[in-house]
Amino acid sequence: MTPPPPARPGDPIEAVDTPALLLDLDAFEANLHAVHAFVAACGGRVRAHGKAHKCPEIARRQVAAGAVGLCCQKVGEAEVFVRAGIRDVLVSNVIVGESKARRLAALARGARIGVCVDSPLQVAQLGAAARDAQAPLELLIEIDTGMMRCGVRDTSEALELARAIDTHRPWLSLRGLQAYQGRAQHLRSPEERADAIARAGARVALFRAALEAAGHRCAEVTGGGTGTYPLELAGGAWTEVQPGSYVLMDADYAANLPAHGAPALRQALEVLCTVITARDTHAVLDGGLKAFAVDSGLPVLPGSGWRVRGLSDEHAVIVPGDDARALAVGDKLRSVPGHCDPTVNLHDWIVAHRGGRVEQAWPIEARGALF
């Protein structure tokens, strides 16, 4: 059962129950329109990544602002987005298992569904499920861009998969390639990011040429993220990009040096916490490891003069700097998480606000959709 929202429309921010996710609508909308306009001006397409927010209301706003559809990482996320009315969804991940394949094929009865593959077993399972459901699936061969994660590593593997896909026509078709360089998203300098994407682009060109020489059409190459999407667009190898964090942002992305010409993005997502203990030496907030993901560092407290010293399950211990403002029990502090995606997955609601007041609370319906 989903708990009630932490705030009601019209409430002041100070009345929001904590810990709670806040979304500054002015910053959210500015980021949304800036990135979509930039991509359109470059001749590309946005396929917004739903793994960042897991929220159908945000997905609908992204599509209304020009995204061609959504991508996500799990079949469960795809089910949530299709149920919410998104009609073009790519599972930008490989999936294994007959039950997952059947669920994905069921979605294809009412939406355009794509999914990545990197092994013949996946193709066979998806082909059988699509045939049984009488619903076509579009497959993208994932390329390992150097992350040592999923994806084929040489062109012979890609050609084997393309041939396997052909044997399952008309229920399977090859849409193209997926090439995502996740590590490059968080390289600090624009030059480092550009070098990583140039190398990934060379691999895309190699694989695409091999497939097309063998008669396999690659209509689409998808990938890229918030940290690199201008580079994928400039390189010419990608037809669409998959930014996700751009509408939220986090402390880790804020540490990146900006790329020339790319729009500056504002911090839209925060976690609101309450001071539950106040001492001369430290204070304690009511949000800990169950409210913040810390894989990309501890949350930061901008403008407060305080620093997070450490987190336990339900507490954040913060210590003052030289310019710290005085805190009392009951005060509320806004914090910026180190990594927005897994932080969102810890919460049930996003409190959307503007001008100091709550406008809406949006359920994070794909929270916990892990399979």
Q: What is the CA radius of gyration of the chain?
A: 22
Query: d(Cα 225, Cα 227) in Å, to the nearest integer?
Result: 5
Same domain, 216 and 313: no
Cut 0.95: pTM above it: yes
Residues 35 and 150 in one domain: yes
Measured in degrees and rounded to the nearest 5, phi and psi for residue 45 equal -130, 145
pLDDT for 319:
99
Do residues 46 and 188 share a domain? yes
DSSP designation for 3: P
Which of 190, 221, 250 finishes a domain?
A: 250
Q: How many CA atoms lie within 13 A of 111 on its CB side?
A: 26
One-letter amino acid of 60: R
371 CB neighbour count, 10 Å cutoff: 11
β-pairing, 240-241 with 45-49?
parallel
CATH number at residue 78: 3.20.20.10
Specify if 349 maps to a domain.
Answer: yes
Q: Are 80 and 365 in contact (CB under 8 A)?
A: yes
Task: Provide long-range contacts, Cβ within 8 A and 24+ apart, for 129-132.
Answer: 129/98, 129/101, 129/102, 129/104, 129/105, 130/101, 130/105, 130/168, 130/171, 130/172, 131/168, 131/171, 132/102, 132/105
- Give the span between the Cα atoms of 276 and 55, in whole angstroms: 30
Judge if 60 and 192 occupy the same domain.
Answer: yes
Place of tokens 């600090």: 188
Provide the pLDDT for residue 260: 75
- 170 and 304, same structural domain? no
Let me know how long the chain is: 371
Span 77-111, pLDDT tens digits: 999 999 999 999 999 999 999 999 999 999 999 99
CATH, residue 281 = 2.40.37.20
Answer yes or no: is 7 within a domain.
no
Q: Are 314 and 219 in contact (CB under 8 A)?
A: no
Nearest CA-CA partner of 57 in 247, 290, 262, 260: 247
pLDDT at position 89 is 99
Instruction: Check whether residue 272 and residue 242 sit in a common domain.
Output: no
What does each of the 371 residues of the chain score in pLDDT, given as a tens digit? 789 999 999 999 999 999 999 999 999 999 999 999 999 999 999 999 999 999 999 999 999 999 999 999 999 999 999 999 999 999 999 999 999 999 999 999 999 999 999 999 999 999 999 999 999 999 999 999 988 899 999 999 999 999 999 999 999 999 999 999 999 999 999 999 999 999 999 999 999 999 999 999 999 999 999 999 999 999 999 999 999 999 999 999 999 998 878 999 999 999 999 999 999 999 999 999 999 999 999 999 999 999 999 999 999 999 999 999 999 999 999 999 999 999 999 999 999 999 999 999 999 999 999 99
State how many domains the chain has: 2
> Who's near 22: CB < 8 A, 6+ residues apart?
13, 16, 269, 270, 271, 272, 334, 350, 351, 353
Q: Which helix (H) or strand (E) holds 71?
A: strand 69-72
At residue 146, the pLDDT reads 86
Please state, in angstroms and rounded to a whole number, the distance separating the CA atoms of residues 68 and 167.
29
DSSP 300: B
The residue whose two tokens read 């890229």 is: 224
**Same structural domain, 327 and 230:** no
Are 277 and 354 part of one and the same domain? yes
Structural domain of residue 127, as residue ranges?
Answer: 25-250
Structure tokens at 53: 């927010």
Parallel, antiparallel, or unpaired: how do β-strands 172-179 and 137-142 relate? Answer: parallel
Of residues 264, 339, 270, the one with CA closest to residue 302: 270
Is 17 in the same domain as 38? no
Does one domain contain both 246 and 269?
no
The per-residue pLDDT for 261 is 86
* Contact by Cβ (8 Å): 93, 116: yes
Do 245 and 274 belong together in one domain? no
196-226 pLDDT, tens digit per residue, is 999 999 999 999 999 999 999 999 999 999 9
Q: Which positions ≥6 away from 282 have C-beta within 8 Å? A: 309, 317, 318, 319, 320
Quote the CA–CA distance of 366 and 55 in Å, as a whole number.
Answer: 6
Task: Please state, in angstroms and rounded to a whole number, the distance separating the CA atoms of residues 359 and 351.
Answer: 8
- What was the pLDDT predicted at 258? 85
Query: Domain for residue 75, yes or no?
Result: yes
Task: Output the DSSP codes for 205-236.
Answer: HHHHHHHHHTT----EEEE--TTTHHHHHHHS
Dihedral, CA atoms, 114, 119, 124, 127, nearest 10 degrees? 10
DSSP string over 344-364: HTT-SEEEEEETTEEEEEEE-
- Assess if residue 284 is contained within a domain: yes
Q: Is residue 2 part of a domain?
A: no
